Amino acid sequence: MQRLEGRVAFVTGAGRGVGRGVALAMAREGARIGVIDIDGGTAQETAALVEAVGGEAIAVEGDVARRADCARGIEATVAAYGGLDILVNNAAWTPTPGRLLMDFDDATFERVLATNLWATFFCMQIAQPHFVARGRGAIINFASGSGTIGNEAQGAYAAAKEGIRGLSRTAAREWGPLGIRVNVVCPFANSPGMIDWAALDPEGHEAALQQIPLRRVGDCEDDVGRVCVFLASDEADYVTAQTMWVDGGSGSVR
């Protein structure tokens, strides 16, 4: 039996990178997948890839910085598959290249918070009644070493991602009695953002690589996706309020 057989997952920002990797990893373990991405074309591509590995998926175009789009995506997934068991809040945005704190304007700072922290909050609130109806649920939120370490030129992103960790711990306490588990993943993976960084700053990227004890950047599906499968499965039934660093040992602050 596949570990997520019979379960339904909703994955944000799943049009590419880590979100796509998580969607594929969960589909391979039997989950049916709701995919949402601001780029409808890439969302459709991920859904097609899920179906290519024998899974089922629906694709929704939407901006998770808007509550209405989060609700539309979750409700479409529930309508298609009859319920919801897993929520993966992966969608993220930050300006590239980064900006020092004194160079941020209010609108850009707010956009980073909206796409990361607010989107996570929206989806958690909308999904919670569906988990209650099931009698259990698993939420996997994404944070970042940018927040735990405090990377320069990543102030808005760091604030949003550490906010997600605080939100997750509170939700784990409030919703644990309802059978809902909430955990956080901090990845270092070969996402489009990582690829862009390597192109823009090859020396900085190589220096970061040399700080990873395992000396490689993680794979979105095989490394990050499979950890998310574990957190969503019965194997992690007693795991909640935790942050898992899937970073090859590179994080210096936990």
As given in the structure block, the two tokens for residue 66 are: 């808007």
Distance CA 24, CA 11 (A): 10
In this structure, the number of other CB atoms found within 10 A of the CB of residue 165 comes to 18
Asked whether the beta carbons of 114 and 71 are under 8 A apart, the reply is: no
Beta bridge partner(s), residue 59 = 35
Find the length of the chain. Answer: 254
Distance CA 71, CA 43 (A): 17
Look at phi and psi of residue 201 and say left if phi exceeds 0, alpha if psi is from -120 to 50, else beta. beta
Say which of 157, 175, 230, 245 is annotated catalytic. 157
Asked whether the beta carbons of 229 and 29 are under 8 A apart, the reply is: yes
81 belongs to the catalytic site:
no
Report the SS3 class of residue 136: coil
Asked whether the beta carbons of 144 and 156 are under 8 A apart, the reply is: no
The DSSP symbol for 112 reads: H
Torsional sign, CA 81, 87, 93, 98: negative
Q: Which residues are catalytic?
A: 157
